[in-house]
């Protein structure tokens, strides 16, 4: 048995991970859901991004892009495992910052199995 790892806000996983993407479109908005395994704590995790019209035009950007684009995505680990010493402000994850490869470009339509 491996002991549960502690929450570590300084953990950074630098290599780009390939997660499984699920895209849902609602009107002008698109919801991109990335699922995979956090390499730091080895728990499964899912993170969702929403693209479309930014809700606020001036100033605020809210981490929204209009389209995903080719740049990798950054997210804190969002696993549901309770890691020790996790601050109350962080409801999920082990604290690791992960880099996820961007989803395939949405050019082609058609159903994905």
Residues that bind Zn ion (CB under 5 A): 38, 40-41, 43, 77, 79, 81, 94, 96
Least separation, in Å, of the C-beta of 63 and Zn ion? 20
CA distance 92 to 81: 7
Least Å distance, CB 26 to Zn ion, is 29
Q: Judged by CB, which is closer to Zn ion: 30, or 40? A: 40
Rounded to an integer, what distance in angstroms lies between the CA atom of residue 83 and that of residue 36? 18
Q: Which residue in 82, 79, 88 sits closest to 40, CA to CA?
A: 79
Choose between 16 and 66: whose C-beta lies nearer to Zn ion.
16
């Amino acid at each position: 048995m491996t002991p549960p790892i502690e929450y570590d806000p300084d953990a950074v996983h630098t290599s780009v991970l390939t997660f499984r993407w699920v895209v849902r479109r609602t009107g002008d908005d698109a919801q991109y859901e990335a699922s995979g395994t956090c390499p730091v704590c080895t728990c499964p995790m899912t993170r969702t991004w929403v693209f479309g019209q930014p809700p606020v035009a001036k100033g605020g950007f809210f981490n929204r892009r209009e389209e995903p684009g080719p740049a990798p995505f950054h997210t804190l680990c969002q696993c549901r495992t309770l890691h020790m010493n996790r601050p109350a402000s962080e409801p999920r994850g082990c604290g690791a910052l992960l880099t996820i490869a961007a989803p395939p470009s949405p050019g082609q339509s058609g159903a994905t199995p």
